[in-house]
């Protein structure tokens, strides 16, 4: 999946704006070495550096990293795969916001994070949790099935785990989970009744692979109509986000 870094910054800034709250959980200290995996266009990475930490941001998307370097030339960024990287024993903390649910190889990611942390180092992250955008996924799959796109309807775009499932997985990789919470956070969509279509186009184009352009627009309108009773609150549209936030410590 190819990311549009400019569209991400212009229309989906809520991803990093909500992430500022996760930075309080990270609680970066002056002089700490911190790795931000899946840093996107770099806004939160720069905030971590502003706190006095020595930080590096990585992302799988070259376009995102190019945008990050252009926006924050004083911060270190590089292209890297979150599911397989080698940064042995370098970091006091590894941070991630709104990224881990995209990672297909969760075991590889957890192994890489564990190896990259100093003994006693912490892994602090927020990601989509069980039930995240559940109504949107159900509506999209309903429209795909009705129009005969059965293969697309079976597409697994993300991994949204429960708290217990993910905590157990972290523990299996040697982490001690010291904090974990699963919570609802309805998230505003921009551009009114166009917001659903723009969200799917940005974050879930895999559902529409192979669908002709004209039919795609019709389908997005149908999905929007199904979601309106749930998403439209007096003209402001909200997506049904559910988040999982945790702190996991590398056992000494």
* Helical packing angle, 62-71 and 43-50, nearest 10°: 40
197 three-class SS? helix
7 or 81: whose pLDDT is higher?
81
* Helical packing angle, 195-203 and 134-146, nearest 10°: 90
pLDDT for residue 12 is more than 50: no
pLDDT tens per residue across span 99-120: 999 999 999 999 999 999 999 9
- The mean pLDDT of 217-221, rounded to a whole number, is 97
pLDDT at 87: 87
The gap between the terminal CA atoms of the chain, to the nearest Å, is: 37
Alpha-carbon distance of 100 to 250, in angstroms, equals: 18
Q: Which residues contact 109 (CB under 8 A, 6 or more apart)?
A: 37, 82, 83, 84, 100, 103
Alpha-carbon distance of 138 to 127, in angstroms, equals: 20
248: β partners: 123, 177
pLDDT tens per residue across span 154-213: 999 999 999 999 999 999 999 999 999 999 999 999 899 999 999 999 999 999 999 999
* Helical packing angle, 213-231 and 134-146, nearest 10°: 140
pLDDT at 251: 87
Alpha-carbon distance of 78 to 42, in angstroms, equals: 11
Complete domains list, the chain, with CATH: 5-132+158-190+241-250 (3.40.50.150)
Tokens, residue 39: 């840093």
Mean per-residue pLDDT of the chain: 92
pLDDT for residue 20 is more than 80: no
pLDDT for residue 7 is more than 60: no
């Amino acid at each position: 999946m190819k990311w549009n870094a400019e569209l991400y910054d212009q229309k989906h800034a809520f991803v990093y704006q909500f992430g500022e709250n996760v930075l309080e959980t990270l609680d970066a200290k002056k002089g700490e070495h911190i790795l931000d995996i899946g840093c996107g266009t770099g806004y939160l990475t720069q905030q971590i550096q502003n706190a006095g930490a020595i930080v590096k941001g990585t992302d799988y998307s070259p376009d995102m990293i190019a945008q990050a370097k252009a926006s924050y030339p004083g911060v270190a960024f590089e292209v890297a795969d979150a599911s397989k990287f080698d940064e042995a024993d370098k970091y006091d903390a590894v941070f991630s916001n709104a990224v881990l649910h995209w990672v297909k190889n969760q075991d590889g990611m957890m192994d890489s994070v564990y190896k990259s942390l100093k003994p006693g180092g912490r892994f602090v992250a927020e990601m989509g949790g069980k039930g995240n955008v559940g109504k949107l996924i159900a509506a999209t799959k309903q429209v795909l099935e009705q129009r005969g796109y059965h293969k697309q309807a079976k597409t697994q775009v993300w991994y949204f785990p429960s708290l217990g499932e993910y905590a157990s997985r972290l523990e299996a990789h040697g982490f001690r989970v010291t904090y974990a919470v699963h919570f609802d956070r309805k998230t505003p969509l921009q551009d009114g009744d166009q917001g659903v279509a723009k969200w799917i186009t940005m974050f879930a184009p895999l559902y529409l692979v192979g669908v002709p352009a004209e039919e795609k627009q019709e389908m997005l309108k149908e999905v929007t109509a199904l979601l309106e009773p749930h998403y439209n609150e007096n003209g402001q549209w909200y997506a049904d986000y559910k988040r999982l936030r945790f702190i996991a410590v590398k056992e000494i």
